[in-house]
Every structure is written in structure tokens, then in C-alpha cells.
Structure 1
Amino acid sequence: FDGWLAASSLDGPWLPASETPPGLADLAQQLAAKGSVDLLDGGPKASPKPSLANGVPTIYVTRTPAELIVFKGQPNFVPITGTGLLWADNTTADVLVNTANDDYYTLLSGRWYRAPSLTGPWTFVAANSLPADFARIPKNVAAGVVLASVAGTPQAQEALIANSIPQTAVVPLRNGPTFTPAFDGAPQWRPIAGTPLQYVVNAATPIIQVGPNAYYAVQAGVWFTASGLTGPWTVASSVPAVIYGIPPTSALHYVTYVQVYGGSSDVVYVGYTPGYLGTVVAPDGVVVYGTGYTYAPWIGSVWYATPYTWGLAAAPIYNPYIGFGFGFGLGLATAAWDAPYWGRPY
């Protein structure tokens, strides 16, 4: 947009600003250049550019995880061949209607939600409790992208298989990758609930204490170990089994998807499955994005983020030509032949 809105509180009301603080416009451009913010200018190809002269956009504020479903105009639903379902064809979201009872369904981060109307209230629906017609959606129609999130379908089975395949590497034990811990101040320890372990909460990477002289850390999909927190840190040739008991409620759960498969006196064979990067298997038998649990980041003189557990408009996508993938934000995920669909390691 070509202007600023202002409010006396975060909840609004938000109205056009009559004046702005000095330097605000320059700061916004600097952040936009870094990709830190979206100035909502429509992008380089937008014509005409969004303008406050055409009306003030509605500002929605939420303090809990949420997704905004946007339609281009009034929702337009079209029949899905061979089913009693309708598909919204004027939104980037996955929205369906079951004509048997006029319930609405939407798919967010691989999880299904149902409501009696588009305005809600929305409630969670397990992927193995969907109406039977969901499994009858043809794979070659637009709505077929949701099949990977319908438990029991071939597409869901393919997604489960894809989510179990590790990305592997051979790592030398000498003259290979190195690890140097970084802390925001003096190390602060916190217990990992449900385990005898503790970890450094103000570290840039996961650092776990297994015993008095046993420390383990993960960086870029490789385990490191040391007898003391300050090192020296070396590539680990094995990982204690207790680490793999870290539950999904812990922000460090994602390290349980990084393995050491074996090795020799010179190298170790390591790998990680997609859970390391956020795609996990839900109890209802489908692959979802994030564990769904809330994790608190470290906020001190610096900010150390925890893994994303929900959101980002993450949508599981099935295409009969390229298989299973995840899309983020706008657009579709595409198959990657030089890297796994789940991306690069932390």
C-alpha cells in the first residue's frame, strides 16, 4: 500500500495515519530489502498498485495460531466429479463443502477443520474421520491436491513413505565439520520434560546434557559430542538412545529425527528424516506440518527461534505427475530432484 495506518492499541481500530515518526519510511524500505517485512505493494508486476485511496483494508489481529482464508470475490464452489463434494476454485486455500449436510471443510498445515459456515466456528477433524467421499476425489482434478491428507488413500500412503526416507551423508571424523557453541550470556539449563535430560535454553543450536561428562549437539543434520560444554566438540559416532525419547511437547523434539547409522574409524554415516525440518506423522495417519505444540523462543540480547509448529500457509500437495510435497505461502510445491521436498537442514 501507499500509506500507513495507525491505532492507539494493537487491536485497533486502524485508520489512515495523519503523520508518521521520522525515519519510518526509510526503515520500512530497509526491512523490505532484507525480506524481513512485506510492504503489501502487490509486487513488481502489480498494476495498479494497492492504494489507501481505494479504501482501508481490514486489519485482523490474533494472539493465537490462525490462518486467513481469502477468496477472490464471493466464494465460488464447483462440483467434484464422482462425489457429493464442492470445491472452492477462487482461493489459494483448500476449502470444500459436503453437500450431504452443507458442512465446510478446510485443510491447514495438513490438518482438517470443519464448520457449519465459512465464519465458523471451526473444529478439528481427524483425517481418518472424514466423510467417505473425500477418498473418492479424483487425483487428476484441482481438489486432488488434498488426497495426501485423507487417511488411507494411496496418496497418503505415499506421503508416509516419503516422510520416512532419510537424507544421508558420509561425514569424516577428522578434518570434517566442526561445532562451536554460541550462547546469549552464561549458559542457562532447563530440563526436558518427560526425560532425565536438560538443555541449554539460550544457545543458538540444540545442546543437550545426557550425563555429567556427556554433551551432545546437532548442527546441520550432524551430531557432535563433548565431555564438557566448552568442548572440544567432535563429530559423534553414536547417540544415546535416551535422546530419542524427547517428546513432541519439547522444542527439541526435532533432533530425534537425526540419526547416526554407523561408521568406521574414519567416517560416520548420518542422516535425517523430514521430521527434522517440520513434517511429522500425525496420530490419524497422515503427514502434517509441525507438531502443533507451542514452543517459547529464547528472547534475550538476541532471539533464538524455536521450530515452526503450525502455519506459514503450509499445505500438503499431491500431484499425480510429481507426487507429494508441501507448499508454503502462495503457490504450489514442486518436486525437487537435487534435494528432498522438505528442504535443507537447520
Structure 2
Amino acid sequence: MPRALITGITGQDGLYLAELLLSKGYEVYGFMRGQNNPKRELVETTLPDVKLLTGDLTDLSSILRALDSSKPDEFYNLGAISFVAYSWENAHLTSEVTGLGVLNALEAVRLYSKDDPSKVRFYQASSSEMYGKVQTVPQNEDTLLWPRSPYGVAKVYGHYMTINYRESYGMHASSGILFNHESPRRGPEFVTRKISQAVSRISLGLQKDLSLGNLDARRDWGFAGDYVDAMWRMLQQDTADDYVISTNETHSIREYLDLAFKHVGIEDWTPYVKQDPRFMRPAEVDLLIGDSTKARTTLGWEPKVDFPSLVAMMVDSDLAEQKRLAGL
């Protein structure tokens, strides 16, 4: 039975990845902060077969203890402070967790596997936010990185450190440069879930309006459940490498609003949506669209859920949740 250790197990990607690995017969260990973590119950309820270990990406010794306990064949480093807007308010903490946390994870794996550098296959969750002020359209594995947020800068550090450990120590360390991927499990602070939640509440008469930032920002949005399959495929390759994971399509916030409101029978969303300067980024990333040709060719991966289906999935999920909460 293969064994896997997942940091960031409480996030949407961690939950979907754990489900995928369990379905493939893995023994799965989840690495999370503190026994009083408010999301611990979510994992225990949703995935009772996952064995939880406590630790912190800023503490190398705790990662080593987790490796000793889990003895994994594969290590998926999904842990990060991942809300981009938060990274400007807490740039130092974001850098420590999202950037230096990768170094700690890599170093822990190196020390644990010192007799066999490829003993544990390592996956690093890189991000399309690394492209920032995009230099080519679409973006692929060779596009110059120009991050526009502390989060993006921290991800660039982790990305290059993963490459460095692969080249310096012969580790089987791969990075997935994942473009925006969403799901009903996305946190409500992220714009896609913020919209789907608000649209469901507005349609039920529970909320009057919705405040957003830049409505013209364009993203390459896919389904998180599809993207974790790409992570697994990377670690099944004989040779480690870096891959862009994307739908190869771009859509604006306005398009997302169109689909979400129409799904609940509202044709004109303009009376319900307000732009608020508080939600504007200090340095905006205007256009992201990936070129995942390499992943499709080498890994045999492709997304299954298209953009309209993703929006409908998220709105339907939030409608059901809001009806339940309101007793409707």
C-alpha cells in the first residue's frame, strides 16, 4: 500500500487530493497546525480514514517527525497562506509559511531520504500568481515570472527552491504551476466563492447586494477536483519536472457574474453588485491564461469540468447550504 503525506490537508486541494489517493488504495496522512485547529473536525468527518499529524511548516523538526511517523512514498506540499489579498497585510508571515515553509519541507525530505534522494517523491504547489505582470500570453513553463503580490513572490521562492533541490540533490521534486482552481470547498474569502454564496443569498432574499473589486480581471478557472489528479500524475513520472495545469481559457469576473446570476434566474446583476476600492489590489494581475500542452502531452491529463459547469456547481452547492441554514 503506497503512503502519502499531505500538508494543507484542510484546504480544498488537500481534501480532494486525499479523496483521490484513498480511492487509489493509499494510506494517507494529513499534516496540519495544532490540535485545536478549527478545521480538524471537517477532515475527520469528511475523510475519517486520513491519519492526522500536527506540526507547522515553519518548524523543520515537526516536519521531520511527520515524515518519521508516516514514512511516505509521496509528499504533497499544499500548505500555504494562500489568500492573495491577505499577503499584503501580512507579508512577513506569508513569506515564512508560503516561501520558507517550502524550504523546510524540502530540507526535511532531503534529511529523511539522505541515503536515497528519490526515496520520497515531492510535489510543490506552485501558482499562476507567480506570472503576475504577464510577459507572454498564454503562460507556459518557460514564461518569465514577475509576481505582483507578496504571495506571488513567496511562491516564486518556493518554486525555484524546488528546482534547486531537484538539481542539487537528485530529489524527485516536481512543481505544479496551477492556475485558478475552484470548488464548493473554496473558502468564502475567495472571489468565486464570495460570488456564489452571495448570489444564492440574494436569490433567496437573504442579502441585498455584493461588493467586489476589479470586475475586469481575467483568470483561467478550473475545477480543483480535476487539478489534484494532475498532482498525482506528476509523481508517477520516472523523471521529476514542472508543469502548468490550466484549462487554456480565460474569463472575467463579469462573465462569472453573468453565469452565476443567470443560474438563479436573474438576468441583470448590475443592481446587486457594487465596486468597492477596499477590494482592489495594490498591484493587480489583469490577465492569466495557461498553456497546459506539456501536462496534456506528458501526463495524459486534461480538465473535465468546464467553466459554466463549475459556476453552476458552486452556486447549486451554496443554494443548498443557504436553504439549510435558513430553514427553507
Shared fold (TM-score, shorter chain, > 0.5): no
Larger Rg: 1
- Of the two structures, which has the highest relative contact order with CA contacts closer than 8 Å and spacing of 6 or more? 2
Q: Normalised by the shorter chain, which TM-score bucket?
A: under 0.3
Higher strand share: 1
Higher helix share: 2
